[in-house]
Chains A and B, each alone.
Chain A
């Protein structure tokens, strides 16, 4: 089992969700986050006061998948979230030690 964490552009969420559902991913978690990478920020000017906004709004999606599905998940997110512009985001993959479905008590891959 792996957890795939992807930082994506907010307007790409629906596309990514639809594509993941199509390959058999049954759930994901979304969080509104702010951060910076190579895109850096932009400046905002209010009555002559300039502010450098260095943290841009992004979405973080977290998907727990079986090990077999990891590569397909990564490929799907990469394909759908890409615009080719700087600031498209990143994907991180980490192992999951255990998983439990709270309602039934099912464990590990059964719980995904």
Chain B
């Protein structure tokens, strides 16, 4: 969802006189550039974005709910299913009331950090409102953008609960998640995904090219500067050391996975280990459910990644293919490594690898090439396996469903790899600079500044979400308490929190 090359335009090296000519024709025909003639949404783009929104909803319910639910003991199954479904409903309400506005509204002087309340209660977001995409001259219905982004806000906090599964009171989860999406998720989504409207930049750059006087040139340049700086600080590279190079996160490696992963780890540490952890057997109660859930996650993830292109075009197909091949590679890689190290190829390993691959390719999906994505898939699984088996057991924290080991570690791997794999020399699509209309919007890729930007996004998310979440957990613990009584925990949260069982066999 951050800057990426527009349709049909990729590398500077492909620019020829003919393509510049073609580009000029394209620009002249582009509705955004004709004064007073606003672009209208493309039906294909709109249909794809709405389909993607439904796919991402399916990732949460039932995908994630079943994937997580199968991994806990049968006495906590209904608890997991209820928590995930509740979070989906709760965030759906909050997003509509003020979440969308805080994440994607205009924050005025604070716009680098948070959107304002201008779009609270969906003010001004009617059926005719439009939102920009990544291609100059293209827009989508803002309501489609609103609901697509809503599904991301729903799944991210739902990911967290896996870390403290089987031992946090439902009331505590409810209050914590309400505070967490408001104070952690909405701002970080704004930092990373509040990007400039390419139409504004291209219009100003066109004016600049045509400007005859120095004064007119300065006026146009000011418009470009204003548009490129009125963005989230990570998206625009506004920190002094980033020197204007924004971090790349196509579909949410930092915003969704690192963010949820670190919040989960902090939660697991603060709430403490499950009773019996390390002493009793706490095996998954249904790998069948987990396999169904992981499969639904894979299918839904096409909406997550390919949908993040906001349009239906070649880059959408690229993100789709990257999502497919990285996941296949990662599933296979986990299976083979575990087979070699532990002696048996396991189903849980296979599906864990698939999820790790999906996580890792998320930030890279619209930037990397398919072969780069395949390599990323093969690399991420051994890294995550090392964390969930060796690091977790050595340090002794009880991240029940490995939210940190898979989502945070996989997310960091993907976020850093994105900075490398975007390189056109490695089959990536390169960087976009919308003010460079003479050269097909080609930006300049440089490894070191790009990795500084990626590292900043990772570090900022870890710090803000880690520290912020710790404060929120503590506040909830001191007010209503995080943990059920030991007897209640032993009996299972299905009965003690919800008064029902997942299974009455």
Interface residues of A (CB under 8 A from B): 44-49, 51-53
Contacts of A53 in B (CB 8 A): 281
Q: With a CB–CB cut-off of 8 A, which chain A residues contact B283?
A: 44, 46, 51
Contacts of B390 on A, CB cut-off 8 Å? 48
> In the bound complex, how far is the Cα of B300 from the Cα of A31, in angstroms?
43
0/1 string, B345-379, CB within 8 A of A gives 1: 01011001000000000000000000000000000
Measured CA separation A51–B278 after assembly (Å): 9
Are B389 and A47 neighbours in the complex by a CB distance under 8 Å? yes
Q: List 20 A-B contacts (CB under 8 A).
A: A44-B283, A45-B342, A45-B344, A45-B346, A46-B346, A46-B348, A47-B349, A47-B352, A47-B385, A47-B388, A47-B389, A47-B402, A48-B342, A48-B385, A48-B388, A48-B389, A48-B393, A49-B389, A51-B282, A51-B283
| Residues of chain B within 8 A of A47, CB atoms compared | 348-349, 352, 385, 388-389, 402
Instruction: For the A-B complex with A46-B284, A46-B346, A47-B389 known, give 4 more contacts whose Cβ atoms are closer than 8 Å.
Output: A45-B342, A47-B388, A51-B283, A52-B281
> A78: shortest Cβ distance to chain B, in Å?
33
Closest to A44 in B: B283
Contact with A along B90-104 (1 / 0, CB 8 A): 000000000000000
Residues on A with beta carbons closer than 8 Å to the beta carbon of B385: 47-48
Beta-carbon contacts of B247-284 to A below 8 Å, as 1s and 0s?
A: 00000000000000000000000000000000001111
Contact count band on B: 10 to 19
Tell me the nearest residue of chain A to B334, going by C-beta. A47
Name the residue on B nearest A48 (C-beta).
Answer: B389
Nearest residue (CB) in A for B386 is: A48
Residue of A nearest to B388 (CB): A47
Expressed in whole angstroms, the minimum distance between the Cβ of A40 and any Cβ of chain B is: 15
Give the shortest distance, in Å, between B410 (CB) and chain A (any CB).
14
CB distance from A56 to the nearest CB of B (A): 13
Residue of B nearest to A54 (CB): B281
Scoring B residues 316 to 358 as 1 if CB is less than 8 Å from chain A, else 0, what string do you get? 0000000000000000000000000010101011001000000
Q: Which residues of B contact A48 (CB under 8 A)?
A: 342, 385, 388-390, 392-393
- How far is A36 from B435 in the complex, measured between Cα atoms in Å? 74
Are A51 and B389 CB-contacts (below 8 A) given A45-B342, A45-B344, A46-B348?
A: no
Chain A residues closer than 8 Å to B282, beta-carbon distance: 49, 51
Contact partners of A52 in chain B: CB under 8 A: 281
CB neighbours of B349 from chain A (8 A): 47
**Smallest Cβ-Cβ distance to A50: which chain B residue:** B342
Contacts of B342 in A (CB 8 A): 45, 48
Query: A53 vs B389: C-alpha distance in the bound complex, in angstroms?
Result: 19
A48 to B394, CA, bound (A): 12
A48, A49, A51, A52 — most chain B CB neighbours (10 Å): A48
Within B72-119, the residues touching A (CB, 8 Å) are none
Chain A contacts for B392, CB-based, 8 A: 48
Instruction: Mark B300-319 against chain A: 1 for CB-CB distance below 8 A, else 0.
Output: 00000000000000000000
